[in-house]
Amino acid sequence: MKGLSRIKARIIVSFKETVLDPQGQTVKNALHTLGYSFVKDVRQGKVFELELEGISRKEAEKIIPEISDKVLSNPIIEKFTWQILE
Amino acid sequence: MKFGVVVFPGSNCDFDTFYVLNSVLQQKTVFLWHKEHNLQNVDCVILPGGFSYGDYLRSGAIAKFSPLMQEIKIFASYGGLILGICNGFQILLELGLLPGAMLMNKNLKFLCQFVFIRLENNQTPFTNKGKVGQVLRIPIAHYDGNYFAPEQKIQELKKNNQIIFRYSEASGKITPEANVNGSLENIAGLANKEGNILGIMPHPERASEAILGSEDGRIIFESIINYLNEKKKI
What is the CATH number for B176? 3.40.50.880
Confidence of residue A3 (pLDDT cuts 50, 70, 90): low
Question: Considering only CB atoms, which chain B residues are within 8 Å of A18?
Answer: 150
Interface of A with B in 4-43 (CB under 8 A): 18-20, 22-23, 26
* Residue in A18, A23, A72 closest to B104 by CB: A23
pLDDT for res A22: 87
Domain that holds residue B137: 2-233
Query: Is the confidence at residue B144, as pLDDT, over 90?
Result: yes
Read off the pLDDT of residues B102-135 as tens digits, 9 standing for 90 and up.
999 999 999 999 999 999 999 999 999 999 999 9
For B87, which DSSP code? H
Structural domain contains residue A2: no
Mean pLDDT, chain B, integer: 96
Mean pLDDT calculated for residue range B48-53 = 94
Q: A–B: how many Cβ contacts below 8 A?
A: 35
Question: Considering only CB atoms, which chain B residues are within 8 Å of A74?
Answer: 58, 61, 94, 101
- Distance of alpha carbon B144 from alpha carbon B152, whole angstroms: 22
Closest-approach residue (CA) in chain B for A19: B148
- Distance of alpha carbon B234 from alpha carbon A77, whole angstroms: 43
CATH number, position A59: 3.30.1280.10
Query: Is the confidence at residue B203, as pLDDT, over 90?
Result: yes
Residues of B with CB under 8 A from a CB of A: 57-58, 61, 65, 93-94, 100-101, 103-108, 146, 148-150, 182
The residues, any chain, with a CB within 8 Å of residue B75's CB and separated by 6 or more, are: B39, B45, B82
Read off the pLDDT of residues A26-40 as tens digits, 9 standing for 90 and up.
999 999 999 999 999
- Distance of alpha carbon B183 from alpha carbon B157, whole angstroms: 14
DSSP three-state, residue B154: helix
Domain that holds residue A27: 7-84
| Model-level ipTM above the cut of 0.95 | no
Mean pLDDT calculated for residue range A47-60 = 95
- Distance of alpha carbon B147 from alpha carbon B90, whole angstroms: 10
Total domain count for chain A? 1
Confidence of residue A86 (pLDDT cuts 50, 70, 90): confident
Total domain count for chain B? 1
Read off the pLDDT of residues A61-76 as tens digits, 9 standing for 90 and up.
999 999 999 999 999 9
pLDDT for res A2: 53
